[in-house]
Amino acid sequence: MRKYLALIVLSVILFSCGEKQKPADIIVSGGTIYTMDTNSPTAEAVAVSGGKIIYVGTAADVQKYKGENTTMVDLQGQTMTPGFIESHGHMMGLGYNEMNLDLMDTKSWDEIVDRVKEAVGKAQPGEWIVGRGWHQDKWDKKPEKMVKGFQTHHKLSEVSPDNPVFLGHASGHAGFANAKAMQIAGVNQMSIEKMEKDLGEGGEIIRDELGNPTGLFNERAQGLIYNYIPENTEETDTKALELAMDACAREGITSFHDAGASRSDIALFQKFRAEDKMKTRLYVMVTGRDPELVYEWIRRGPLVDSTDFLTIRSIKLNCDGALGSRGAWLLEPYTDRDNWYGMPTLSMDTVLSVSKAALKSGFQVCSHAIGDRANREILDRYETAFNENPSLATNHRFRIEHAQHVHPQDIPRFGKLNVIAAMQAIHLSSDRPWAIDRLGEKRIVEETYVWQDLMKSGAMIINGTDVPVEPISPVASFYASVSRRTLQGEPEGGYEPNQKMTREQALRSYTLDAAYGAFQEEHLGSIEVGKTADFTIFSQDLMTVPEDQLLGTKISKTIVSGKIVYDAP
């Protein structure tokens, strides 16, 4: 009997010693931890070793993982969630927005002209001035003269006679050029008609009543100016990517779905990965604007990094324009432009052929669609591809990016076809006050940003910002998700409040569901033992703070693979 008891005691000692021999690299405790694990929704403490979560539970029990070299993170009453995932953004656009003129906060055309004038004063004659972020429907004051809803170039050209200027619309679907830029590109009253004919469907150069170019280049017409802007260099690309990852860390973003990467972008991402310089996980969509690149990857097959720092298994197709530029493809005409339906920017035959090829090679297809006709046409092509390849379509996770305006007849099809709606709630805050002018009240109510209707159909919604179309702040997009108000808090009760997300739905859309949208839910998106240690720490509790205080939430720390990549001053 004594021998038996001695063995039990020895076993307990050895077991205890074994636990002590595996100290954690980092322990987080001292606040509310939302895990997104339905079995244990909250926790008091988390322990991490080797970049993986090894314990989730109580503050008392986590102490057994504490060693001499364990980093102890005291939340001091703050809140931690799984690392937030940006489900649709443009990584290089974010980086270059940090370097070029950022016009997102401008409130008038005069203010934009003043910023360009200031930039001209610092530039050499002939040097290009490039910026992005203006949106005419967000201005407090409109110019006296507008053509088809847009300003004309004359004021801009007066302050920049010797410097070509091109300013991208916030949506990225239009751009504005001054006279010098148009002169360099050969755009004038005599050349416009031929240029538009050469462009074919999907591009527009807006002209005044005399046939002169106003400076506005819509959709594919932007290329007429972009072709003359000096190409980015390896040095500027490297700086842009570094700045973008720093911005992600500041905003609590641990993973980023890059919505349309070029050949050079992908090469740069691979270089950063090989040099172990990734601060942010990248899930990459190959841009459909380069068909040769798309089919190279389809032949090659997906690249799935075991660490999830760089995954390439998705294709981005740009199928229509944006509502702000009236390029979104609609079933019925715009209410503020007679007989204008927007436009497709890609052949639907291409959507079908790429969808079929992608299914066979293990690639996900993510199609940009804002207008209700674009959404319908893409769902039609997806459905055809699925029906022709049923054995390959069981776990396709095809997505429609934006899905902003969906006809009521098409809403149930998202759930039926298991198509993910990759939406950006912040667009509601920015667009809804003026979108009613584009679509009218009936379409606004029945088909615009219909989050609850889509989820009730069985569809999954994943969240993001479309940065640099909007600032990358997940707090602002979370606020828009649950309030359906502008960032100024209007209107009381929110727009179409029956479509609001609950706070749990909004949190899932930025964490576990967003991970699912990239085939990564087994490793990311929740705080569970065995998963990767990606966390976002907020200054206050997103799930309980009063709605009117949500926007005051700050990012305190961002942790990627158990390493602190951002620590607020």
pLDDT at 555: 98
566 occurs within a structural domain: no
Dihedral in degrees, nearest 10, Cα atoms 372, 374, 380, 382: -120
CB 454 within 8 A of CB 412: no
| pLDDT tens per residue across span 363-404 | 999 999 999 999 999 999 999 999 999 999 999 999 999 999
CB 400 within 8 A of CB 425: no
Q: List the CATH number of the domain containing 470.
A: 3.20.20.140
Task: Report the range out of 133-142, 205-214, 256-265 with the highest average pLDDT.
Answer: 256-265
Average confidence (pLDDT) over 497-517:
98
Radius of gyration of the chain (CA): 25
Amino acid occupying residue 479: Y
Say whether both 222 and 238 belong to one domain.
no
| pLDDT tens per residue across span 53-88 | 999 999 999 999 999 999 999 999 999 999 999 999
Dihedral in degrees, nearest 10, Cα atoms 295, 97, 518, 41: 180
Say whether both 384 and 277 belong to one domain.
yes
| pLDDT tens per residue across span 524-556 | 999 999 999 999 999 999 999 999 999 999 999
| pLDDT tens per residue across span 312-326 | 999 999 999 999 889
pLDDT at 15: 42
Candidates 139, 137, 75; CA nearest to 109 is: 139
Say whether both 331 and 442 belong to one domain.
yes
Number of domains in the chain: 3
Mean pLDDT across the chain:
94
530 occurs within a structural domain: no
pLDDT at 3: 42
Q: Name the domain boundary from 173, 199, 226.
A: 226
| pLDDT tens per residue across span 93-108 | 999 988 888 898 899 9
Say whether both 339 and 439 belong to one domain.
yes
pLDDT at 491: 97
* Percent of residues, the chain, with pLDDT higher than 90: 86
CB contact set of 375 (below 8 Å; sequence gap of 6+): 369, 400, 403, 405, 406, 407, 410
- Rounded CA-CA distance 548/532 in Å is 33
pLDDT at 12: 41
Average confidence (pLDDT) over 243-266:
98
pLDDT at 1: 45
Say whether both 280 and 313 belong to one domain.
yes
pLDDT greater than 60 at residue 7: no
CB contact set of 516 (below 8 Å; sequence gap of 6+): 397, 420, 460, 462, 525
CB 328 within 8 A of CB 370: yes
Say whether both 218 and 246 belong to one domain.
no
pLDDT greater than 50 at residue 14: no
Q: Name the domain boundary from 226, 244, 273.
A: 226
Q: List the CATH number of the domain containing 165.
A: 3.10.310.70
548 occurs within a structural domain: no
Say whether both 493 and 512 belong to one domain.
yes
Question: Running DSSP on this structure, what letter comes out for residue 132?
Answer: E
pTM over 0.75: yes
pLDDT classification of 112: cutoffs 50, 70, 90 = very high
Instruction: Reduce the DSSP state of residue 48 to 3 states and report it.
Output: strand
Say whether both 142 and 108 belong to one domain.
yes
- Rounded CA-CA distance 303/292 in Å is 17
The region of weakest confidence among 10-14, 263-267, 477-481, 498-502 is 10-14
117 occurs within a structural domain: yes
pLDDT at 100: 87
| pLDDT tens per residue across span 162-205 | 999 999 998 888 999 999 999 999 999 888 888 888 887 778 89
Say whether both 350 and 422 belong to one domain.
yes
322 occurs within a structural domain: yes
Amino acid occupying residue 451: W
- Domain with 15, as residue range(s), is 2-77
- The half-sphere exposure of 138 on its side-chain side, counting CA atoms within 13 A, is 25
| pLDDT tens per residue across span 417-469 | 999 999 999 999 999 999 999 999 999 999 999 999 999 999 999 999 999 99
Neighbours of 545 (CB within 10 A): 17
549 occurs within a structural domain: no
Candidates 435, 289, 454, 431; CA nearest to 375 is: 454
pLDDT at 11: 42
Say whether both 473 and 340 belong to one domain.
yes
pLDDT greater than 80 at residue 13: no
C-alpha separations of 47 from 26, 280, 428, 492, 559 in Å? 6, 21, 38, 42, 13
Say whether both 99 and 51 belong to one domain.
no
CB contact set of 322 (below 8 Å; sequence gap of 6+): 169, 171, 172, 173, 174, 328, 370
pLDDT greater than 80 at residue 6: no
Q: Give the sign of the dihedral formed by CA 321, CA 323, CA 328, CA 334.
A: negative
558 occurs within a structural domain: no
**Beta strand pairing call for 26-34 and 42-49:** antiparallel
Q: Name the domain boundary from 226, 252, 275.
A: 226
pLDDT at 325: 87
Helices (H), 189-256: 192-199, 223-226, 234-250
pLDDT classification of 5: cutoffs 50, 70, 90 = very low
Full DSSP string of 415-472: HHHT-EEE--HHHHHHHHHHHHHHHHHHHHHHHBS-HHHHHHTT--EE----TTSS--
Per-residue tokens: 248: 């992600």
417 occurs within a structural domain: yes
Q: List the CATH number of the domain containing 37.
A: 2.30.40.10
Say whether both 66 and 104 belong to one domain.
no
